[in-house]
Amino acid sequence: MIKAKHVGWLVTLLLLATGLGALEKKNSPDTLTLLLGKAAMYCEKLKTTAFKYFCLEQVNETLADSTGRRQKNVYRYDYQIIAKDGKISEQRTLLFENGKKRHLQKAKLPTRIFSYYSFHLPVFLLAKENQSKFNYQLQAVQMVSGSKAWGIKVVLKELAGGPMVDGQIWLDAKDYSVIKIELNPRYFARFEQLQKEAMKAGAILTLSDVHWYELKRNGIRFPSQTEIREIYTMSGPPPGRGRSGARGIKGLAGESAASGNWDSSAQHWKFDRSKTVFTYSQHRFFNVDMEYSAQPLLE
């Protein structure tokens, strides 16, 4: 005789065996539970896969400077994720800086904001041991980077100051690997400093952190691009539209004002205080023995 407490497990195993195709049109708790289980299995693979990863990393940064115009910086690195002493470490060798040839080993990123370990971001959001920290909501199935993908909304459960991160994850409908992650983070070390700068400027700060994983190798997806935007929302019209003064804000005149997004109905406008795009290419892989070690994600 099958005991009642075993029925739920039998149903779950049956559905895992038959796949999720029959549930595709149903936005049900069962579908979400199964997807999270599949995602957790994928994260275990991320944590246990052994490799050395090398690639060319190009960093394009655009930010508002004190003259009111956009300043652009371009950096190119030999980027490595290396296993050493049972941990995962990141290393960069600076090859070019704003068109000038360089060769600086163990280089630090000079950008205003940057991302750590995009490769392991799915683990932070979806690993079995972390899922209790989040609320998840199933979204519509859509095409992402040429693949059919399940969308899952994710919100870190409230702490003292409210949710620290929210966003959306897209899982490949075939193998449940993570194709894309889009977050509005408020959990990293420098957020309070950035928020104070925005408040001093009379702006509301929003951060957008988007990661694409379009390179796949042996069932594992690797980062192809990361885009981080520091968005200022200002009340009233931007300079040049009848607004007098800018309350001492740096970077609101000239080109930065022209590139802003004016919403006349809401009487506010937005512009990117900074935008940093990381693009990865020329990937090379080497197998090694390693253990997983979590690291911070933004700085």
Question: Does residue 239 fall inside a structural domain?
Answer: yes
pLDDT for res 53: 80
Q: By the 8 A CB rule, do 274 and 48 touch?
A: no
pLDDT for res 290: 46
Question: Does residue 299 fall inside a structural domain?
Answer: no
Question: Does residue 298 fall inside a structural domain?
Answer: no
Q: For 117-121, what is the mean pLDDT?
A: 83
- Tell me the residue range of the domain where 37 lies: 4-286
The more confident residue out of 81 and 88 is 81
Q: Say which CATH number the domain at 224 has.
A: 2.50.20
Beta strands in the chain (DSSP E): 52-64, 70-84, 87-97, 100-104, 134-144, 147-156, 165-172, 178-185, 203-212, 215-217, 220-222, 225-235, 261-263, 268-286
pLDDT for res 157: 83
pLDDT for res 263: 55
Looking at the structure of the chain, the number of domains it has is 1
Question: Does residue 166 fall inside a structural domain?
Answer: yes
282 has a pLDDT exceeding 80: yes
Q: For 224-249, what is the mean pLDDT?
A: 68
- Residue 241 — pLDDT band, cuts 50, 70, 90? low
